[in-house]
Amino acid sequence: MRIALRLAPLAALLAVPATGQDFASGSDIAARVEAMGKAMKPGQGFAWEPVVRDGERVAALEYWKAPGRPAVHPDQAEYAIVIAGEGTLRTGQRMDNGRETQPGLIEGDRIVDAVDRPLKPGDVLLIPAGVPHWFGITSDRLVLLGTKIPAK
């Protein structure tokens, strides 16, 4: 299963047709990333901010300063591009002690038989629906621009 590859252009993900904000320039993204970092409070490990949207479809920035819990989105694939910082993507077939923490999100304690992949700016990843995953942070931050894709 191929999950990560390299790709620099963001235009394809940023050009979402239609009813909401449907474009963000590279300078818009850079300014938002900087603002998100400054706005985070001491001890805050994660921030999320929508960038472009078309109704319920959203491409958003995920700003990680600390790792979260292993997660699974049962009905959504996750597509993302690393914008800044460095980290690790851990994936596997099974997660220990998974429990639904909000609709569409199951979080657990650890991923069993995991594979780790290093992440750096320009990397592209696609995590299929139902695949346990976790992001580790190996620099001061890991910033992703991503969207969820319904599996059906």
pLDDT in the model for residue 19: 44
Task: Give the CA dihedral 26, 31, 34, 35, nearest 10 degrees.
Answer: -140
Number of CB atoms found within 10 A of residue 109's CB: 12
Contacts of residue 25, defined as CB under 8 A and 6 or more positions apart, other chains included, come to none
Provide φ and ψ at 98, rounded to 5°: -70, 140
pLDDT tens, per residue, the chain with 152 residues: 444 444 434 444 444 344 458 899 999 999 999 999 999 999 999 999 999 998 888 999 999 999 999 999 999 999 999 999 999 999 999 999 999 999 999 999 999 999 999 999 999 999 999 999 999 999 999 999 999 999 87
State the pLDDT at residue 104.
Answer: 93
User: In this predicted structure, what is the pLDDT of residue 1?
Assistant: 44
Compute, in degrees rounded to 10, the torsion defined by CA atoms 24, 120, 127, 21: -10
Give the pLDDT score at 151: 85
